[in-house]
């Protein structure tokens, strides 16, 4: 298996190094993994003047999977939009056609106290959000800021974007979501805003059509505002959620905080052949970069997802996830999840603990 490793910015290098330790264990046991490094985000801009350099794109296209750390940092905020780190991330998603973004929100029982919700509301939480990742208002044309005639007859600036989904885009992500629901609790909730938006009306119709092919899965629909409310009222009512790019961006951040620990949550972004990019859902945390205190578990768990979805090796995925559960049960905690009475460790010590647990 060929793996493109893109540490990116901020804490990206530190957390990816811990995930690579896990991969090295598997390599040492004979797994055929080849790793090659590339620049992305601010690191791409610094090294090659582009947040997604050609070399990185080529490396990623040729790889079976991509492991990404994080992108972004305050030093890049003043750059022109196309040169900003975030644009590198959006472009690689689009270029590799990674349309299905899987964002689990799972609460480890030992961390229930870290949630801002009551422990009984979140205990046992296990949701999978499937976010469409290459369409919607993120990529729709036309978009821009331009001068138009205002109410007083004078020119004023207007900003505009286009929310757009085609049937085929909705259909393919719906199939992924139904497929995942089949392997889990067999309940899928489609989230849109069909009471206001035509784009959402189409989304709802197409998801309902696809549902006919999955009679074992119970489909429900919610408007996004109601879904946001239900997610904090009673999050355990959900099994799998499927939604568009912008709603999924917002709801997945919200869902991640139910678990109290954004540093624990991995993600997968898949194309139709299960090639994937794997990354923690948290950002580059420039404020703590370089201090060896970041939580590497989301990145390590992203490697588990890589084994599950791209390498179709559930046994190894389970083994990595079990090792993470074990270090949590043993009381190892990085600062973000530390509570009185547990053992505060550095990023690299956490990586070592997972390796030992494996």
Which residue ranges make up the site for Mg ion (CB under 5 A)?
249
The residues near 98 (Cβ < 8 Å, ≥ 6 apart) are 92, 133, 134, 269, 270, 271, 275, 276, 277
Binder of ligand IPM out of 249, 271, 292, 313 (CB under 6 A):
249
Q: Helix, strand, or coil here: 23?
A: helix
**Binding residues with ligand IPM: total (CB under 6 A):** 4
Is 78 part of the annotated catalytic residue set?
no
CB of 22 to ligand IPM, least distance (A): 23
Interacting span for ligand IPM (CB under 6 A) from 85-93, 115-123, 157-165, 168-176: 85-93
Stated as kind and residue range, the H or E segment containing 313 is none
Q: Which is nearer to Mg ion, 127 or 323 (CB)?
A: 127
Strands 100-106 and 126-132: antiparallel
Q: Is 225 a catalytic residue?
A: yes
Pairing of strands 343-344, 34-37: unpaired
- Measured between alpha carbons, how far is 206 from 211 in angstroms, rounded to an integer? 9
The span from the CA of 294 to the CA of 284, in Å, is: 10
For 96, half-sphere exposure in the C-beta direction (CA atoms, 13 angstrom radius) is 34
The β-bridge partners of 221 are 190
103 or 275: whose CB is closer to ligand IPM? Answer: 103
**Residue number with CB closer to Mg ion (35 or 246):** 246
Q: Is 325 a catalytic residue?
A: no
Q: Is residue 86 involved in binding ligand IPM (CB under 6 A)?
A: yes
Rule CB under 6 A: say whether 257 interacts with ligand IPM: no
Strand partners, 70: 8
161 lies in the site for ligand IPM, by CB under 6 A: no
Residue 177 in contact with residue 239, Cβ under 8 Å?
no
Bridge partner residues of 126 (DSSP) = 106
- Which of 46, 126, 249, 271 is labelled catalytic? 249
What is d(CA 57, CA 1) in angstroms, rounded to the nearest whole number?
Answer: 17
- Point out the catalytic residue in the list 45, 76, 108, 138: 138
Kindly tell me which residue out of 83, 90, 182, 232 binds ligand IPM, with binding defined by CB under 6 A. 90
Q: Cβ 102 to ligand IPM, closest distance in Å?
A: 12
- Residue 249, token pair as written in the block: 């961006």
Alpha-carbon Rg for the chain in angstroms = 21
Q: Which of 58, 205, 253, 318 is catalytic?
A: 253
Nearest approach in angstroms of CB 23 to ligand IPM is: 23
Binding segment for ligand IPM (CB under 6 A), chosen from 83-91, 152-160, 298-306, 336-344, is: 83-91
Instruction: List, by residue number, the catalytic residues.
Output: 138, 193, 225, 249, 253
For ligand IPM, the binding residues (CB under 6 A) are: 86, 89-90, 249
């Amino acid at each position: 298996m060929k793996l493109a490793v893109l540490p990116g910015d901020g804490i990206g290098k530190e957390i990816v190094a811990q995930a690579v330790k896990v991969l090295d264990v598997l390599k040492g046991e004979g797994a055929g993994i080849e790793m090659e490094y590339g620049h992305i985000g601010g690191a791409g801009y610094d090294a090659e003047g582009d947040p997604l350099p050609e070399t990185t794109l080529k490396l990623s296209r040729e790889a079976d999977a991509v492991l990404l750390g994080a992108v972004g940092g305050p030093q890049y905020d003043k750059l022109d939009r196309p040169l900003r780190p975030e644009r590198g991330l959006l472009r690689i998603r689009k270029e590799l056609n990674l349309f299905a973004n899987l964002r689990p929100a799972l609460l480890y029982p030992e961390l229930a106290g870290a949630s801002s919700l009551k422990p009984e509301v979140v205990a046992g939480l296990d949701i999978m959000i499937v976010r469409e990742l290459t369409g919607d208002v993120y990529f729709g044309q036309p978009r821009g800021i331009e001068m138009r005639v205002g109410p007083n007859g004078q020119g004023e600036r207007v900003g505009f974007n286009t929310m757009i989904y085609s049937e085929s885009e909705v259909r393919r992500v719906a199939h992924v979501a139904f497929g995942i629901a089949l392997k889990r609790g067999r309940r899928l909730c489609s989230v849109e805003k069909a009471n206001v938006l035509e784009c959402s009306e189409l989304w709802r119709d197409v998801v309902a059509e696809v549902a006919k092919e999955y009679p074992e899965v119970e489909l429900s629909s919610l408007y996004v505002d109601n879904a946001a409310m239900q997610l904090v009222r009673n999050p355990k009512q959900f099994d799998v959620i499927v939604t568009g790019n912008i709603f999924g961006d917002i709801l997945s951040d919200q869902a991640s905080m139910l678990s109290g620990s954004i540093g624990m949550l991995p993600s997968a972004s898949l194309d139709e052949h299960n090639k994937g990019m794997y990354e923690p859902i948290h950002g580059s945390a420039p404020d703590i970069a370089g201090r060896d205190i970041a939580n590497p578990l989301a990145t390590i768990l992203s490697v588990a997802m890589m084994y599950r979805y791209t390498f179709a090796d559930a046994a190894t995925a389970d083994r990595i996830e079990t090792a993470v559960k074990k270090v949590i049960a043993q009381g190892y905690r990085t600062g973000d999840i530390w509570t009185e009475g547990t053992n505060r460790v550095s990023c690299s010590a956490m990586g070592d603990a997972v390796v030992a647990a494996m």
